[in-house]
Structure 1
Amino acid sequence: MSEEYRAAPKASRRNRGFEAASRLLSERIRTAGEARGFAVSRLLTHWPEVVGEEIARLCRPVKVGYARGGFGATLTLLVEGAAAPIVDMSREKIREKVNACYGYNAISRVVLTQTAATGFAEGQAVFLTQPKAPPVPTPQIRAEARAAAEGCEDETLRSAIETLTRNFLIRSASRTAPKKGSP
């Protein structure tokens, strides 16, 4: 076989150019979806197309759980508290549309989990406390920040460098300062 008919060496990642984001992420999406029981990642990635825009705004799929025998999976949806009655009335319609996505009668039950829109950690109640006042820079910190930005000619950049330096020095000073009640 002559040299010209030999297969060219596989191009390195740098020489291939741009790739579609879907190709780059498809493996990760599939792996993450399978970890939560989603055999068909299309259910996660195209949720509004599967169930419709109106229902998709109210809920999102969280998990597909399979029974021990493997017959009749349960789809768990995350729903905001106020939207739960609307989604509850649409359970059968959601089940039919999801099964159409799978191509067979995979889902036998749809379960709703109610939560705040922001999630568990972010949705916690905010207690009324006195907000902490931002630390005031000492004259020495201000002078050090000004000195750090001294050689810069651009006013905006100089101001940004000064602010960054000032914040850094304030934070470092507060970390090294003795805590209240410590010897």
Structure 2
Amino acid sequence: MSRKPLPPPDPARRMRGFEAASGFLRDPIRHASESRGFAVARLLTHWPEVVGEDLARMTRPVKIGYGREGLGATLTLLVASAHAPMVQMQLPRIVEKVNAVYGYAAISRIALTQTAATGFAEGQATFAYEQSSAQNTARPVAPEIAGKARDTAAPITDPDLRAALEALAQNILTRRRN
């Protein structure tokens, strides 16, 4: 089998050298975002800038739906269920910020879709949580228990696994016996 040779270059086409990758991706990204109702892809790509870092850690825009109710669309946000009440209180602020991106009152309502931290629909959406200070503080452990836990995990060569097993051993050894 022989391959067909490439056709000669079209002389009418202007050779521009290398083009920016964003030029090749602009149309597919616009088509994908428009199929989800996002006329302005900036809402998806710059979500933390639109609503702020604190709300962006708790929410992800999922889709924009245009209903029969009249003017204004419904923005659906993916929210971890633990943060839903806090986000619910800030809905008027989110509407203002999103409409500022569009330049007119494009969004009139926001619907919240609650999920677990592992997410579901949006490719396992990840949320950046800040651990509370109660989780960051470690309880003091007796030196003999810490030494016994260290000796138990000593044969493990991987440092991360050894630290995790050492912490597990400390938890087991400090657990109250009934």
Indicate whether the TM-score tops 0.5. Answer: yes
Q: Distance in 2 between matches of 1:101 and 1:108?
A: 14
Q: 1:71: how far off?
A: 1.2
Unaligned runs of at least 5 residues, structure 1: 1-6, 124-183
TM-score using structure 2 length: 0.57
Residue 14 of structure 2 is aligned to residue 10 of structure 1 = yes
Q: Distance in 2 between matches of 1:37 and 1:18?
A: 29
TM-score using structure 1 length: 0.56
Q: Indicate the structure with greater helix content.
A: 1
Residue 66 of structure 1 aligns to which amino acid in structure 2? Y
Residue 79 of structure 1 aligns to which amino acid in structure 2? V
CA RMSD of aligned residues (A): 2.3
Residue 27 of structure 1 aligns to which amino acid in structure 2? D
Residue 118 of structure 2 is aligned to residue 118 of structure 1 = yes
Residue 45 of structure 2 aligns to which amino acid in structure 1? T
Q: 1:16 to 1:118 in 2, by over 3 A?
A: farther
Matches within 5 A, 1:11-160: 11=15, 16-17=17-18, 19-20=20-21, 22-68=22-68, 71-120=71-120
Q: 1:28 to 1:70 in 2, by over 3 A?
A: farther
Q: Percent identity?
A: 63
Q: 1:24 to 1:91 in 2, by over 3 A?
A: same
Query: Which consecutive segments of 4 or more residues in structure 1 shift more than 6 A?
Result: none
Q: 1:109: how far off?
A: 0.4
Tell me the number of residue pairs that the alignment of Structure 1 and Structure 2 aligns: 113
Q: Distance in 1 between matches of 2:45 and 2:14?
A: 31
Q: Larger relative contact order (C-alpha < 8 A, sep ≥ 6)?
A: 2
| Larger Rg computed on CA atoms | 1
